[in-house]
Amino acid sequence: MTAQTSLSTRAWVELILLGLIWGGSFLAIRTALDEIGPLTSVLHRTGWAMVVLWGFVALKRLPIPRSPRIWGAFLVMGVLNNVIPFSLMAWGQLYIPTGLTSIFNAATAIFGIVVAALVFADEKLTARKVMGVGLGFSGVCMAIGVDALRQFDTTSLAQLAIVAGTLSYAFASAWARKMLGGIPPVIAAAGMLSGSTLCMIPLVLVIEGVPSLALAASTWSAIAYYAIIATALAYLLYYRVLGMAGSGNLLLVTLIIPPIAITLGALVRHETLHPGEYLGFGLLALGLSIIDGRLWRRRPTTV
């Protein structure tokens, strides 16, 4: 895990930029889903992002791993970090607002704390983490709503699918730490996207058929945004911010994304969220802030 450092002005700017980019990805994905299937949307995302990142690798003349073990790790990472969560979330977005999807996505950090505690000896659950995780889970349950679970329907299933996607992200983070340590981030991202694209091709062909390239300009624009900008370029930006700010500060991006996604969903698709969903995000944000800890530290007094 990268150590937490203080945030410089440049790190803040790039962190906010990353949040804006990822916040816009939910609307872009939903726009593409008006014309293409969920699995096809994922194939576009991983495929085009893979091409861009391998182009970057070639431009920088970075050495490509040759070990079958590493490529096997890339394949597993692609399934955990792309195939499962991207597919579940894309399908879920057919039935729930983009803003709500982004709220559930913020639970990735909560699940990540729990999975890391189960897998790694140096990631024990402290009292502060337990409190934060408890509030985070309460927020997720609040956002889903008791009625959704009592009257289980397609919308309820879509919500649970997206939550399951965030759990897959958490396992992917643990896998990356265990198996991909020491590999340059760009190589790891390109290899992961290669593995996920390899998995998505047969899934798309069997379930949704041969993808059509005769798509509307708005669909291609959405694909270009979420595949090239919000995936390939965002990965490069993500690792820049990680290097400048550390993993602890990077948690803040999960609090920037939902307001952006909610606003764009309301402006472009006229989506609305229920008060309980906003309250759920509030509890989730409070849980994340407790886990982060900086808001609750006593500032040193000056004489």
- Over residues 144-163, the pLDDT tens digits come to 876 666 677 888 899 999 99
User: What pTM does this model have?
Assistant: 0.88
Residue 303 is predicted with a pLDDT of 43
Cα-based angle 175, 237, 165 (whole degrees, multiple of 5): 40
* Residue range 122-138: mean pLDDT, rounded: 86
From 188, 161, 190, 160, select the one nearest 173 (Cα to Cα): 188
pLDDT in tens, 246-291: 666 667 788 889 999 999 999 999 998 888 888 989 988 888 888 7
Query: Which tokens hold the place of 206?
Result: 């069997």
Question: Look-up: residue for tokens 């609305």?
Answer: 272
Q: Which amino acid is at 193?
A: L
pLDDT at 127 over 90: no
Residue 254 is predicted with a pLDDT of 81
Instruction: Round the average pLDDT of the chain to a whole number and report it.
Output: 88
The answer to which of 138-147, 191-200, 230-239 has the lowest mean pLDDT is 138-147
d(CA 134, CA 103): 16
- Four-residue CA torsion sign, 62, 186, 192, 244: positive
Distance set, CA 24 to CA 146, 179, 219, 264 (Å): 29, 31, 14, 7
Question: Look-up: residue for tokens 């894309």?
Answer: 90
pLDDT at 9 over 70: yes
Helix or strand (DSSP H, E) at 80: none
pLDDT in tens, 29-48: 999 999 999 999 999 999 99
Q: Which amino acid is at 5?
A: T
**CB 193 within 8 Å of CB 78:** yes
d(CA 211, CA 192): 22
> In the chain, at which residue ranges do the beta strands (DSSP E only) sit?
none
pLDDT at 301 over 90: no
